[in-house]
Homo-oligomer: A and B are copies of this chain.
Amino acid sequence: MSLTPPTVFIVDDDASICRSLARLVRQAGLDGRTYPSAEAFLEAHPAPPSRPACLVVDLQMPGLSGLELQQRLLESHSSCPVVFISGNGDIPSTVRAMRQGAVTFLTKPFDNDDLLRAIGEGLEKHRATLAAGQQVSSIRERMKTLTERELEVMSWVITGALNKQVAAELNVVEKTVKVHRARVLEKMQAQSVAELVRLCALVGFAAAEPS
């Protein structure tokens, strides 16, 4: 499938740890990259990754802490999973990290296999999230090409309403609805109303309410 291996971003202020972790993930066939601080990582990757990746972050760091980095990622809608490592973490930090969606939280010294397992899990999750996200944005793109009227018609069509009923709702003639309906199916690249319903469900497009 993908010729390039997934990426593992290692963020730790301890250069020797960075080196050793990078060596570990590269031996596992992954693309390991290191950053001495959260700021350095954010600067290098202002946008969420578009290919499978995983972060390995130290909890305590000068400047932005690991938790704050995770927070920033969440705010930028990055779905990149985070694995925490820490020498002297506490339970409240662990809880916050996990509540914010961390894959896991390892305490030093940790087993290398545990870390690789966690990274693998994160990558797998990210792969799934990216795939779902791409499908959603593809649908959203098509939806953008719809005119307001077509959107309106679509919201009625996916309720299963007859053309006649839609026409009554919009105060137009049935024939007009037919035209819009056909254009909606064409633009959304749906072969049937059933498929259209599924597409709308995937992007959370709500059906209209009977007035």
Contact = CB atoms under 8 A, between A and B. Distances in A.
Q: How many chain copies does the complex carry?
A: 2
A194 B166 CA distance: 14
Contacts of A201: 198, 201
Interface in A80-124: 86, 89-92, 94-95, 98-99, 104-105, 107
A191 interface: yes
Interface residues of A, number: 26
Contacts of A99: 98, 104
A159 B194 CA distance: 6
Nearest to A96: B104
Contacts of A91: 86, 89-91, 94, 105, 107
Interface string A131-171: 00000000000000000000000000111110000000000
